[in-house]
Amino acid sequence: MCFHSSRMHVVCLSCRAAWKKTTAARGPGRCPQCRAELIDAGADLAVPKRRDNAGWRALEAVLRAGLTFHGGCCGTGPGYRPRTPREVRERLTLADRTGLPVQRALAVTDPTITDRYGPTARSPRRPRPHG
């Protein structure tokens, strides 16, 4: 059975705060603390603790690149998202090296698996020895 939440996370990056709003509410709105524009991050967001500086830096990079945590039906959720600044840097390096769009590079599970077929391709099979 599929489950789709009617409550979405909205995030204020400057306050490091997140709230849940229903999808019926009009737009993400403004932060009640600093009046900055809130970002609609989706229902599947795992909000870092307020004191987790690294987690918030990674979340900011992901959200500013346009990736969100909107789930799908039957396990087709948002996919991989980096959780640390190191993971973000690795994927940005991949984007620079391969010319991959930043948004797509941030969603790559393993940035070390790249070849001429692209970052989502599996490594080619080794030829079998004749014998």
How much of the chain, in percent, has pLDDT values that exceed 90? 29
For residues 92 and 73, is the Cβ–Cβ distance under 8 A? no
Cα 14 to Cα 33: distance, rounded to the nearest angstrom: 10
Answering whether pTM is above 0.95, one says no
The per-residue pLDDT for range 7-53, each reduced to its tens digit, is 788 999 999 999 888 766 666 788 888 999 999 888 888 889 989 99
47 C-beta neighbours (distance < 10 Å), count: 18
Q: Quick one: pLDDT at residue 55?
A: 93
Cα 2 to Cα 108: distance, rounded to the nearest angstrom: 25
Q: Quick one: pLDDT at residue 123?
A: 43
For residues 37 and 30, is the Cβ–Cβ distance under 8 A? yes
